[in-house]
Amino acid sequence: MLRSRTVKTLFVLFVAMLTGAMALLAMQTDPLLPPSGHLAALAPSAGQDAAAIVRQTSVPLQPIKWRNIVVHSAECVDSNDRTSEVHFRLASSADGEVTIQATQLWQQQAAGNHLPLIAGRDLNAESIGVCLAGELAEGEPSSRQLAQLRALVRALQLACSIPADHVYLHSDLDSHTGCPGRSFPSQRFSAGLIHGSR
């Protein structure tokens, strides 16, 4: 009798476990994915490995510190003798190749000095300065320059969770300048950014 009771109990337990497993399989859904606009779900566009350049710092990356990205042109930055006061420079060679160079400021995660006081506020401590080389006062940047600039800005957006509405041209913040130039294709540039929430 004891043996019969044990067998019945084990059988009922087995049936209950099998039923529970089948119910769990029936309720299984696809894994939750982040919303399509979430910054971490998107990758930077192709080109020079901008993401690797962004991650190569001498001190740990401080993503919470950086809230804005500001794009400058070389003539604007150079005219104020601020070439070493931005975090990244996009240099163009004679054959049209464009390379991304991280400055010592980015390596040390230090504040730049690429913006004046704006409405009494110093945005340098929380803004990443990016300088696009070349004469942009009258002409547009080349397609290579624009592609590398977009790749760098997208990599920075991903690394620091900076949404597109916090990516500025210098002239967006300072009405006293035309930087990065009247011919800069701001709509085309903006369309290639990562649009999502912080």
Q: How many CB atoms lie within 10 A of CB 30?
A: 5
Read off the pLDDT of residues 138-167 as tens digits, 9 standing for 90 and up.
678 888 999 999 999 999 999 999 999 999
Which element (helix H / strand E) includes 6?
A: helix 2-27
- 14: containing domain: 1-29
Q: Domain check: are 20 and 46 in the same one?
A: no
Give per-residue pLDDT as tens, 79-100.
Answer: 555 456 899 999 888 787 889 9
Across residues 105-134, what is the average pLDDT?
Answer: 89
**Residue 34, in any domain of the structure:** no
Q: Is residue 119 situated within a structural domain?
A: yes
Residue 150 domain-assigned (yes or no): yes
pLDDT given for residue 65 in this prediction = 95
Give pLDDT tens digits for 29-60: 655 444 444 444 444 444 458 999 999 999 99
What is the rounded distance in angstroms from the CA atom of residue 1 to the CA atom of residue 33? 54
In angstroms, what is the C-alpha Rg of the chain? 26
- Residue 163, sorted as left (phi over 0), alpha (psi -120 to 50) or beta, turns out to be beta
Cα 112 to its chain centre, rounded Å, is: 18
| Distance of alpha carbon 83 from alpha carbon 87, whole angstroms | 9
Number of separate domains in the chain:
2
What is the average pLDDT value for the chain, to the nearest integer? 82
Q: Does residue 161 contact residue 62 with C-beta atoms inside 8 Å?
A: no
Do 61 and 4 fall within a single domain? no
Residue 37: what pLDDT?
Answer: 45
- Say yes or no to pLDDT of 129 above 50: yes
**Residues 149, 78 share a domain:** yes
Q: Given pLDDT bands bounded at 50, 70 and 90, which one contains residue 77? A: low
Say how far residue 67 (Cα) sits from the centre of its chain: 10
Helix or strand (DSSP H, E) at 98: strand 98-102
Do 87 and 19 lie in one domain? The reply is: no
Percent of the chain having pLDDT more than 90?
A: 42
Per DSSP (E only), the strands in 11-73 are 68-73
Both tokens assigned to 123? 């945005």
